Chains A and B, each alone.
Chain A
Amino acid sequence: MDILTLFVTVPAITILILVFTKNLKQARIVSLVGMTVQALMSFHLVYAYFQERKINDDIMVFVKDMTWFEHFNIHYIVGVDGISVAMIVLSSIVVLAGVLISWKMEDLPKEFFISLIVLATGVFGFFISTDLFTMFVFYEIAVIPMYLLIGIWGSGPKEYSAMKLTLMLMGASALLLVGILGIYFNSGADGGALTFNILEIAKVNIPVEAQKLFFPITFIGFAVLGAMFPFHTWSPDGHASAPTAVSMLHAGVLMKLGGYGVFRIAMYLLPEGALIWSDFFIVLAVIGVFYGALAAVKQTDLKYINAYSSVSHLGMVLFALLMLNRTSWNGAILQSLSHGFMTAMFFALIGMIYGRTHTRDVTKLGGLLKVIPFISVMYVIAGLASLGLPGFSGFMAEMQIFVGAFQHEDMFHRVATIITVSAIVVTAVYILRVVGMMLMGPVKNAEFENLPKATWFERAGVLLLLIPIVFMGMTPIWLSDMIRESLQPFIERMM
């Protein structure tokens, strides 16, 4: 079996074994082993990728092509470039951390881990696919377990949130389906056979009329998952109701599918559509960035704060993608990765705080730094990374985004960039506000004087997420190399 298909086989085997587990202990051990293997495989993939690159300068490497539905020319094709390798590493780390954080999942543990890993299978499958149909299949596999995960193990108005999230995301995938079919039936424009193969389609000059029609459909289809304003409303409700690990996976990984899909499918395959529509979507992205940040300032529920912060950060990813140049694209991908680790860490910490204090309301919390120092310090670090302090991943990403954005000299882009930059100030406000209210000062509630310290699995989960954040901030050069090379085909296609 080839190196990439293993990324869906290992989770699938883990699921199969999980079916036969009897209790929480067995289920979590099996999941931990399975996902650790997955994480090790992803590290190995990075190494293998660099080795392969030396001898192979195709757009995608490790390509494996198998015919699936012959008549529709549907293939199971896997292949990766630097961007997808980075995304796979992100996913495997977040999933592993998610398993660790769910160490004490008492209610229906087996089903919980199965759903979680089904979701992970979909995500990995999505990132390794280079065939539109296969990609779409994995996309839907990744989305649907969310309903059960939030609905069964969530809190608060979970039935409502789960239904809202599922319907909005599946509605978006309905749009996507139309977009994919539109691309498929125009892939023969140069006289070749119809195909779902992304690399083949990228060689075709799809008629401008078709691009104009299908770009917004495909773009919105993916951008809903990337929480683009005004389609972001599922995200705060979903996050607030979801159990910890699911919030982590959702914000850390699943929402990245949106940005990745926008880039790899909508923009790469329909470049002229992107040029025509970019201004329109820039407006939406800028609104998202600013609105998300402002909404986060106003919230008092920790999960809502981070959910809106995600809307803001992912708005920035879309903004950067739409700036259409190499520097900002580089920034967009770094931002995706950085946000993935950071938000996952945030949600993990929030889960721990909530598990101890049974409240997520910042106005009721205070002085936690004295009571649970590890968790609090980690929260501060995540916060600083999130507001873009040099030395952490967020800085590298945002820096490149804005450098790229300022390369446009016209009025429209300037204004949009300045508004987006100013949103960073607002980000600092809501992060520091939470840190001040929740961690500093006197302990407001006597019950919170003696909270249990972080356990080993909690520490392991959080540190797992912290390492890449620091790594990306300190030595971004490896990652940048990997991404920069992979951006070349996009640049060529777009210009």
Chain B
Amino acid sequence: MNIENFLLMRQELVLLAVILLLIIGEIFSNNKKGLLNFAIGIFVVHTVIGFLPMQEGALFGGMFKSTSLIHLFKNVLNVGVLIILLQSADWIKEKVVPEHKSTEFFILMFSSLLGMYYMISAGDFLMFYLGLELSALPIAALIAFETYKRKSAEAGIKFILSAALASGTSLFGVSLLYATTGTIHFEEVAAIISYSNLSLLGFIFFFTGLAFKISLVPFHFWTADVYEGAPIGIASYLSVISKGAAVMILMIVLFTVMKPFDLVTHNLLYIVALATMFIGNLFALRQQNMKRFLAFSSIAQAGFILLGIMSNDQLGVATVVYFVGIYVFTNLAAFGVVQSISLQSGKENMDDYNGLYRTNPKLSLVMMLALFSLAGIPPVAGFFGKFFLFTAAASQGMYLLVFLAVVNVTISLYYYLLVIRAMFLRKSETAIPYFENKIYMKLGLVLAVIGILFIGLYSPIYDYIFEISKL
């Protein structure tokens, strides 16, 4: 192996360099506020470098793989994290910098992102597991970052317990798979594995672990509590970055390794998808706290993603990646508005949003776009994402499932409209007064909105994703 091969790991290496630079910066810098700009700045550089084209290939005997699709997905994660950083910048300035913990914040977040990279690039179960752990542990610390808040600490504990349980379960599943096949390489497992009770058990345990990550029903109980307790930036990180990466690896493993279990996978996903959509949606109906609201809405969205995964071919992969990409921007726009309002006024309930349009029209419009995109209303991107997911499912003849999914879309429209009702229809004496967002927050929101408007209508993006969607 020569040194050029390491360029396949360019994303990881650059991110590692970013982390090291931060540590060095911490040592030499006296200006703690400047560190924030420094961190965001070098992450922007990292994101830009990420967009340079990269070769496909494998490293370490197939342990680490890089394809165009994975590369693209890492870029989506990068942009997502960048938006989160921009949206959280004010929060960091106000709450984190005075406690001299800003470097920790960035290092933890970037380490977790590094873990995601390795997880989705994994070519065997060992790499997968390392990535999974590396991505989960720093998040637990981040969730409990506001240590002076009881809820934050509680959420941290909840997350670490369920994450540990989930990865333990996954690991157990992997060990059973190893027991039946004698190897942990994806390709070799795929060649050897056959349908037996033991391997089936292994597969189901493995799936369960990832289901925790994606918060599929019935493994979703931690979601709402953790989202509510965590700082909002971290909640959005959990809901888009963490979930997106887990969806990606689940899809890779299902499509490449678990071929013999097609029928089981199909039935399993069918039931889980239905349960996830219905339970996520029905619980979201009555939520008052915006973070819990978005938590249940993101559970329901995960159910829709499963429709694409079930279609099990190139079309399925393309639509899922496309949907996740759109979902990243959409959800970040929604979370961004919640965060900006929470930071200004400390208010996080739906009732507090009454009359928001009349005092803060721009923010309300961003929220409306985000909610329409989540609900799948044209011409914003969410519509195209959902339509194509449903097309992928219908291409396999699952019309009933598509029908039930669109019933769910209608249910979800109800609660998304509740927020719009609060902002646009209601008038309130105690509406949140007008405020101007700081520059970073504005940038974060604008980036997200551009994504929402652009990705759907501009069709070459989808065609490109379809082109490279080979696992």
Contact = CB atoms under 8 A, between A and B. Distances in A.
B391 A159 contact: no
A167 B383 contact: no
B463 interface: yes
A140 interface: yes
A178 B399 contact: yes
B388 A72 contact: yes
Contacts of B399: 178, 181-182, 213
Interface in B374-396: 377-379, 383, 387-388, 390-391, 394-395
A147 B391 CA distance: 27
Given A167-B410, A178-B406, A185-B394, A147 B462 contact: no
Contacts of B318: 71
A72 B403 CA distance: 20
Interface in A139-158: 140-141, 144, 147-148, 151-152, 158
A174 interface: yes
Interface size on B, as a range, is 20 to 34
B378 A137 contact: yes
B291 to A, nearest CB: 24
Contact of A181 (B377, B394, B421, B466): B394
Nearest to A144: B377
B439 interface: no
A166 B375 CA distance: 13
B410 A152 contact: no
A162 interface: yes
A237 to B, nearest CB: 16
A69 interface: yes
Contacts of B397: 185
Contacts of B420: 147-148
A151 B379 contact: no
A167 B318 CA distance: 30
A174 B304 CA distance: 14
Interface residues of A, number: 32
B406 A69 contact: no
A140 B463 contact: no
Contacts of A133: 387
A70 interface: yes
Given A69-B459, A151-B425, A152-B425, A166 B413 contact: yes
B410 A151 contact: no
A492 B318 CA distance: 40
Contacts of B466: 71
B209 to A, nearest CB: 33
A243 to B, nearest CB: 13
Interface in B418-434: 420-421, 424-425
B383 A140 contact: yes
Nearest to B426: A159
Contacts of B463: 69-71
A181 B390 contact: yes
Given A140-B378, A178-B399, A181-B390, A69 B462 contact: yes
B201 to A, nearest CB: 36
A70 B459 contact: yes
B207 interface: no
Contacts of A158: 425
Contacts of A421: none
A166 B424 CA distance: 15
B461 to A, nearest CB: 10
Nearest to B467: A71
A70 B318 CA distance: 13
Grouping DSSP codes into helix (H, G, I), strand (E, B) and loop, the B interface class, with mixed when no group exceeds half, is: helix
A175 B318 CA distance: 24
A30 interface: no
Given A71-B463, A72-B391, A178-B399, A141 B425 contact: no
Most buried by B among A158, A171, A184: A171
A174 B410 contact: yes
A371 to B, nearest CB: 34
A177 interface: yes
B219 interface: no
Contacts of B407: 171, 174
B113 to A, nearest CB: 31
Contacts of B372: 144
A46 interface: no
A372 B424 CA distance: 36
Interface in A116-155: 133, 137, 140-141, 144, 147-148, 151-152
A61 interface: no
Nearest to B405: A174
Nearest to B406: A174
A69 B420 CA distance: 31
B409 A174 contact: yes
Nearest to B318: A71
Interface in A39-83: 68-72, 74
Given A69-B462, A174-B406, A163 B424 contact: no
Interface in A392-411: none
A181 B414 contact: no
Given A71-B462, A71-B463, A181-B391, A151 B421 contact: yes
B417 interface: yes
A170 interface: yes
B107 interface: no
B459 A140 contact: no
B451 to A, nearest CB: 18
A70 B462 CA distance: 9
Contacts of A170: 409-410, 413
Interface string B122-163: 000000000000000000000000000000000000000000
B402 interface: yes
Contacts of A140: 377-378, 383
Most buried by A among B372, B383, B413: B413
Contacts of A144: 372, 377
Closest 8 CB pairs of A and B: A174-B406, A181-B394, A151-B425, A137-B378, A171-B410, A69-B459, A71-B466, A178-B403
23 contacts: A70-B459, A133-B387, A137-B379, A140-B377, A141-B378, A144-B372, A148-B420, A151-B421, A151-B424, A158-B425, A167-B414, A167-B417, A170-B409, A170-B410, A170-B413, A174-B409, A175-B406, A177-B387, A178-B394, A178-B403, A181-B391, A184-B394, A185-B397
Interface of A: 68-72, 74, 133, 137, 140-141, 144, 147-148, 151-152, 158-159, 162-163, 166-167, 170-171, 174-175, 177-178, 181-182, 184-185, 213
Given A171-B407, A174-B410, 10 more contacts: A69-B463, A70-B463, A163-B417, A167-B413, A167-B414, A174-B403, A174-B409, A177-B406, A181-B390, A181-B399
